[in-house]
Amino acid sequence: MKKFKIWYKNVFGSRREIVREEALGVKNHQVTIHDVTYFVAKALFTDIPEMIEIERAVYAGKAPWDSTAFANELRREKDRLYLVIRKNDRLLAFIGSTFDERTRDAHITNIAVLPDYQDRGLGRFLLNIMIKKAQQLNYKTVSLEVRVSNEQAQHLYKDLDFQQTGVKRGYYFGDHEDAADMVLNLEAAPAAQETQEAQAHN
């Protein structure tokens, strides 16, 4: 029995790792969102200063994550995925997610879009990529936290079928604002997510 378990782990464990590497591997490529062409790539350490600048633009001059926090995330390539969107070599948006094999949950850690480029489909496009990755890995859920005051973001998440599951009191550092917990159940309506992914490319 022990030999069988070892054989099973070696065969199917390695296959699982291959699937995981493929899912979390993203090649640099161009995309068209609402008739505008952008460049999508995995985030690099050299992107961190611009990511922090986007945070400051979004959060009234404050950066919730510093360069050390972002660097620690980017080092964890086996269970993290961070993507950026650029146009004319300017970083416009980014997203980050953890992929937990134990809970089969993809947790969105960060998503931010420069204010001048909001409402152009960039956030929706990035979210749909993470949703698709979670589906490839046969995960059960995609989860995130959002400020209770950020109604614009909540509207987008609800439009993608995220449901609020609770509230974290005083969650955010600094102002101690509450966070709404939101979860997308991938087992409930996977076909709908495929449709949303296709729409993001149109």
Q: Strands of the chain (E only): list them.
A: 29-33, 36-42, 80-87, 90-100, 105-113, 141-147, 163-168, 179-185
Q: State residue 107 phi and psi, 5-degree precision.
A: -105, 120
Token pair 């030999």: residue: 3
Find the catalytic residue in 8, 157, 187, 197: 157
- Residue 6, classified by CB atoms within 10 Å of its CB into exposed (0-12), middle (13-18) or buried (19+), is exposed
In the residue annotation, 145 being an active-site residue is answered as yes
Q: Tokens 């600094």 identify what position?
A: 174
Hey, is 56 helix, strand or coil?
helix
Q: 55, 139, 145, 171: which is the annotated catalytic residue?
A: 145
Classified as helix, coil or strand, 164 is strand
Q: Is-catalytic flag, 157? A: yes
Supply the residues annotated as catalytic. 145, 157
